[in-house]
Amino acid sequence: MMRLPAFSYRAPRTLRDAASWLADAGRDAMVLAGGTDVLPNMKRRQQTPATLIALRGVRELGAIGSEPGAAVIGAAVTLNTLVRDERVRTRLPGLWQAALQVATPHLRSMATLGGNLCLDTRCTYYDQTYEWRKAIDFCLKKDGQICWVATSSPRCLAVSSTDTAPMLQALGARVRLVSAAGERELPLADLYQNDGMHYLTRRPDEILAHVLVPDEPGWRSTYWKLRRRGSFDFPVAAVAAAAQVDPEGRVAAVRLVAGAVASRPLAAPRAEALLAGERLTDERIAAAAHALYEVAKPMDNTDFELVWRKKMVTALATCALRELRGDDMREARQRLARQVL
């Protein structure tokens, strides 16, 4: 089997210890939550941290709580815990759908919300063993000089492959980062930048501690994911949508985010502007879906062909907006996701 490189393992019991040990360990340290992303990557030598600071024993990070108008979800809450939470399922259906479509049931027992938000960007030239990467003389993201996805690209084009981030961005979530120096809170949207290597604005000494999800009346949300199979696969395109619809059926507020078609979740302000204050008619939905299509920039580094993936953004956005309108989308969902959501 593939073997892990040697590393030190530290298991703090408090967030304070975790932050201070992370600061002490310096640049060669990484945070470990469920390990479903970091450990396979370490086996492939994509990351070789000298120290892993494990968050499993930090109780403050493992609970789902409340603040006025918001759910507060600990970053170390597993995805299975998240999807079994009654409030998430009923009040934040988009988040429930997104979390339920991450990987497999087994992996979701280990994988955490924080881990999915910080998920390393993915690329078929990068998610390979050391020997495989040596055979292509490596790539920009790790050990190499060139981005093989687009050889003239000055930046890494690895793909943001998290399901929960686009949805939480659409829900207007905020995140709380904690370090030995203090803590800060920022919109989840600002946690990301469109660079496959430097895709997080998190400083190396910061721990993603909590996710604050607004839970306000009148909001509907949904998540539509494209992948080859109904289980296992990372998204290769996704649309997250959240809207506040008034009793007359007009869109009071809306956020649309495309996932897995760039190095970060992509907001679509033009699409949102097309919908604001309008009824969700077929024409409006088509126009907004097209605007989201134009935002998407898939490259040839995931499953499926990139031109088709981009086209699928239109289909996903149409489904998402129809679902927000109140259409019965269960049959279309069953065909695409191969499960009831």
Partner 1 sequence: MSRVIGRPRRRVDARAKVTGQTRFADDVILPRMLHCKLLRSTVPHARIVRIDTARAAAHPGVHLVLTGEAFPVPYGVLPVSHDEHALCPDKVRFVGDPVAAVIARDEATADQAVHLIDVEYEPLRTFAAPEDSLAHAEPRIHDYGDGGNVHRAVALQFGDVDAAIDGADHVFDDVFFFEGNTHLPIEQHAAVAATDPDGKLVVWSSTQTPHYLHRSLAKALQMPAAHIRVIATPNGGGFGGKSDPFNHEIVVAGAALLLDRPVKICLTREEVFYCHRGRHPVLMRFRTGVTRDGRITGVDLQTLLDGGAYGSYGVASTFYTGALQTVTYDVPTYRFRGCRVFTNKPPCGPKRGHGTPQARFGQEVQLDKIAERLQVDPADLRLNILAPANTLTANFLRIGTMGLGECVRRVVASAGWGDKFRRLPRGHGVGLACSSYLSGAGLPINWNDLPHSGVQLKLDRSGGVTAFCGATEIGQGSDDVLVAVVAEVLGIEPFDVRAVTGDTDLTPVDLGSYSSRVTLMMGNAAIEAATRARDLLAQAVSRKLEIPVARVTFADRRVFDAEAPDRGVTFADAVCMAEAQFGTIGTTGSYTPPRSEAKFKGGGVGPSPTYSYTAAIVEVEVDPVTGWIVVPAVWIAHDVGRALNPALVRGQVEGSVYMALGEALMEEQAFRRLPPRLSNALVHKFPSMLEYKSPTFLEMPDVHTDLVESMDPAGPFGAKEVGQGPLLPIMPALANAVYDAVGVRIDEVPITPEKILKALQLAAAGKPGRVGPAAFPDHVPWPEALRVTPPWEGGDGRASNEPPRRSRRKADAGVEATTGVRR
Binding site for partner 1 (CB under 8 A): 1-3, 124-125, 127-132, 134-137, 146, 148, 151, 228-233, 303-305, 307-308, 311-312, 315, 335-336, 338-339
Nearer to partner 1, 132 or 276 (CB): 132
Among candidates 217, 232, 102, 109, which has minimal Cα distance to 167?
Answer: 102
Q: Are 340 and 334 spatial neighbours (Cβ–Cβ below 8 Å)?
A: yes
Nearer to partner 1, 45 or 255 (CB): 45
Nearer to partner 1, 136 or 252 (CB): 136
Measured CA to CA, the distance from residue 273 to residue 163 in angstroms comes to 24
Nearer to partner 1, 273 or 308 (CB): 308
Minimum Å gap between C-beta 68 and partner 1 is 40
Nearer to partner 1, 230 or 249 (CB): 230
Nearer to partner 1, 47 or 231 (CB): 231
Minimum Å gap between C-beta 134 and partner 1 is 5
b/e map 77-100, b = 16+ CB within 10 Å = bbbbbbbebeebbebbbbbbbbbb
Nearer to partner 1, 181 or 307 (CB): 307
Minimum Å gap between C-beta 200 and partner 1 is 23
Minimum Å gap between C-beta 262 and partner 1 is 20
Minimum Å gap between C-beta 172 and partner 1 is 30
Minimum Å gap between C-beta 111 and partner 1 is 14
Report the phi/psi class of residue 282: left, alpha or beta, with left for phi > 0 and alpha for psi in -120 to 50. alpha
Minimum Å gap between C-beta 2 and partner 1 is 5
Nearer to partner 1, 27 or 229 (CB): 229
Minimum Å gap between C-beta 124 and partner 1 is 6
φ/ψ of residue 172, rounded to 5:
75, 30
Nearer to partner 1, 64 or 315 (CB): 315
* Total length of the chain: 341
Sign of the torsion formed by the C-alpha atoms of 49, 51, 55 and 60: negative
Measured CA to CA, the distance from residue 300 to residue 29 in angstroms comes to 32
Q: Are 50 and 56 spatial neighbours (Cβ–Cβ below 8 Å)?
A: no
Minimum Å gap between C-beta 211 and partner 1 is 26
